Amino acid sequence: MFKFILRRLLILIPTLIGMSLIIFVMLRLLPGDIVDAMVGLDPTITEEAKYDLRTSFGLNDPWPIQYIKWLGEILTGDLGTSFRSREPITDQLLRALPITVELAALAILMSIPVAIPLGILSAVRQNSQIDFWARTIGLIGLSVPSFWLATLFLLFTSLVFRWVPPVIWINPLADPIGNLQQMFFPALALAVQLMAVEMRMMRASMLEVLRQDYIRTARAKGVTEQTMLYRHALKNAFIPVITIIGIQMGVLMGGSIIIEQIFGLPGIGWYLLQGIFNRDYPIVQITTLFLALIFVFVNLLVDMAYAFLDPRIRYA
Amino acid sequence: MNEPIATHQPSTTLMGGAELGLRKKPRLMARLLRQITKHPIGFAGMLIVLFVLLMAILAPIIAPYEPSAQGATRLLPTSAEHLMGTDELGRDVFSRIIFGARTSLYVGLLSVSLASVVGITIGVLAGFIGGTFDNTIMRVVDIIFAFPTLVLAIVIAGLLGPSLTNAMIAIAIVFSPSFARVARGSVLTVKNEVYLEAAHVVGGRSAHIIWRHILPNVMPPLVVLATLSLSLAILAEASLSFLGLGTQPPDPAWGLMLSQGRKFMERSPGLAIFPGLAIMITVLAFNFLGDGLRDALDPRLRL
């Protein structure tokens, strides 16, 4: 198991370097420049002044030097300052990270208790009424845009309860209840699609497992239907569901950008959008990398869970 | 798990004659059409897709008002004159929803076409040529694929500058890796089939072999992927427009209407409800259709 984890971590390194390279090159190939955006309408600023400004940002260095500097910053943990606000990026990022992580974790926690039992039920009673409705609702859940759901939640809470989300983020350590109140609807908006995906995958993989020989053997030797399901089928049926949760993390990271915007949560997605609108390269660079990192990291955890559940993978 | 299982048609492919290759495309479509009518969910999806398509094509004829005409009183509720009321500028919401179908389908179809042409070309070449070329190019594809799709689309669209065309380009870029992967996987499964060897032996040129013998056989999973990608592309366009990174006002787009209507939704809830409903129904229809196509082609395809 240890060797497996080590191998997976080593494979991660080229992926991360590749990702950082793609982000870096992409930001420099795409049009738009922070200095032009900053001086914008001010005609009094001369070309020399702009040049000096670019030099102070390090934008006149050759790309390879800029890239190596950036990597060095990441490795030392000092990410420099924002071009726009001149605030240290590391501090802002560390403040934003827990919000996005909490949002994603809550969404996953909310989706599982609904999706898994429904998926199992749908598979065990294949082609029944329950199955038909579960599948149809699953497809609907897959198609509801999370930002629309979020909007509807806000409409509902403001019309019925006269509740509007607080303007500032509430720290869960200071006020756990207030924090949960604030995070409930944003997380639910993200959880619905996740539920649909997990439910569909649970159903599909359960159906596949139930057709296996060893299940027939278990039935033949007289194991009760309950034991057969929980002891024999479930563990194997879970593996693809865990994988799909990992894959869905990508969707979740994208969705969280919009949801954070709607609910005014200063998470990484919110920070990224600020960076995009301000053409603040360092911020866009690092937040994109961080969202991708969360995605890659969760998938690493998924691989480990996978190996834990299925010993064949460890030795493959 | 993402590796697709190609559908084999040994009876037709074994001979591999040019005449057979020619007939394969219409045959696939006909087969799909026949199968889809037997699949209630897929068939419903197809009907709704056709309905939305007609709505988009006939928009100027069906829409009761000009989508940008600010003639009426602002924020009117639903009435006989304005089926979905009017928005904050006095424009007819119903007409804007109808014209919004144009934006959604236009962006969806164009970006998925672009993504599939680029992706399939890369994937087929990588699979066909193999070796270092395959390794290098697929490594890059895999890394782009490893990014969260919408995150990458938002960054690209945002930095290119907010416009409909840029949103389309961003969506095409982020969707091409999945086409490349599926196309490459399918090519690898048919690459060693006897009929391809035969085609080589009789002296077929590579381009000819790819066009006549490989492409028709990798099409089925790609058709399903394209349909499902359409639903994702429409959703992505709506998301980008919602964030102000896609369609720009005053053009009608569902995502944009939703984000603008949000500010007035306590007074006119319809402004927040109708555009979202339109997005959901369209995306749902493509998902239904994709589901039906997948079941028709091969239920084991887990795309």
Q: What is the pLDDT of residues A61-104, one digit of tens each?
A: 888 888 998 888 888 888 878 877 778 889 889 999 999 999 99
* pLDDT above 50 for B6: no
| CA neighbor of A82 nearest in space, from A103, A119, A57 | A57
Q: What is the pLDDT of residue B298?
A: 65
Cβ pair A138, A244 in contact under 8 A: no
Q: Hey, are the CB atoms on B276 and A145 less than 8 Å from each other?
A: yes
Q: What is the pLDDT of residue A114?
A: 93
Nearest to A32 among B161, B255, B287 (CB): B161
CA–CA min distance B247, chain A (Å): 16
* pLDDT above 90 for B72: no
Which one has a higher pLDDT value, B206 or A152?
A: A152
pLDDT band at B299 (very low <50, low <70, confident <90, very high): low
Q: Hey, are the CB atoms on A151 and B159 less than 8 Å from each other?
A: no
**Distance between CA atoms of residues B216 and B222, nearest Å:** 10
Residue of A nearest to B166 (CA): A30
pLDDT tens digit string along A5-53? 888 888 888 888 999 999 998 888 877 667 776 666 666 777 777 787 7
Residue numbers in A near B242 (CB within 8 A): 147, 258
Residue B294 token pair? 């997948």
Residue A311 token pair? 């010993």
Q: What is the pLDDT of residue B217?
A: 77
The distance of Cα B129 from the centroid of its chain, to the nearest Å, equals: 28
**Distance between CA atoms of residues A151 and B274, nearest Å:** 12
Q: How many C-beta atoms lie closer than 10 Å to residue A217's C-beta? A: 11
The per-residue b/e assignment along B120-135, b for 16 or more CB within 10 angstroms, e otherwise, is: bebbbbbbbeeeeebe
Residue appearing with tokens 């007409």: B95
**Distance between CA atoms of residues B37 and B41, nearest Å:** 9
**Distance between CA atoms of residues B283 and B273, nearest Å:** 16
Helix (H) or strand (E) holding B151: helix B149-160
Q: How many C-beta atoms lie closer than 10 Å to residue B24's C-beta? A: 18
Q: Is B269 exposed, middle or buried (0-12, 13-18, 19+ CB in 10 A)?
A: middle
Q: What is the pLDDT of residue B47?
A: 95
Chain B residues 200-229 with a CB less than 8 Å from chain A: none
Q: What is the pLDDT of residue B169?
A: 95
Residue B219 token pair? 């099409």
Q: Hey, are the CB atoms on A272 and B154 less than 8 Å from each other?
A: yes
CA–CA min distance B263, chain A (Å): 10
Average pLDDT over residues A122-136: 89
Which one has a higher pLDDT value, B224 or A167?
A: B224
Cβ pair A292, B151 in contact under 8 A: yes
Q: Per DSSP, what are the bridge partners of residue A88? A: A81
Average pLDDT over residues B98-127: 94
Average pLDDT over residues B214-238: 88
B48 touches chain A (CB under 8 A): no
Cα angle A243, A143, A239; round to 5: 15
Q: Tell me how far CA of residue B111 lies from CA of A44, B80, B143, B175, B234, in angstroms.
A: 42, 37, 20, 8, 9
Q: What is the pLDDT of residue B26?
A: 59
ipTM value, please give it.
0.87
Q: What is the pLDDT of residue B1?
A: 37
Q: Hey, are the CB atoms on B151 and A30 less than 8 Å from each other?
A: no
Q: Per DSSP, what are the bridge partners of residue B86? A: B92
Average pLDDT over residues A146-153: 94
**Distance between CA atoms of residues B303 and B299, nearest Å:** 10
DSSP helix/strand/coil, B86: strand
Q: What is the pLDDT of residue A296?
A: 87
Q: Hey, are the CB atoms on B155 and A151 less than 8 Å from each other?
A: no
Where helices occur in chain A by DSSP H, the ranges are: 2-29, 34-39, 47-57, 63-76, 89-124, 129-143, 146-156, 176-210, 213-220, 225-227, 234-263, 268-278, 281-309, 311-314
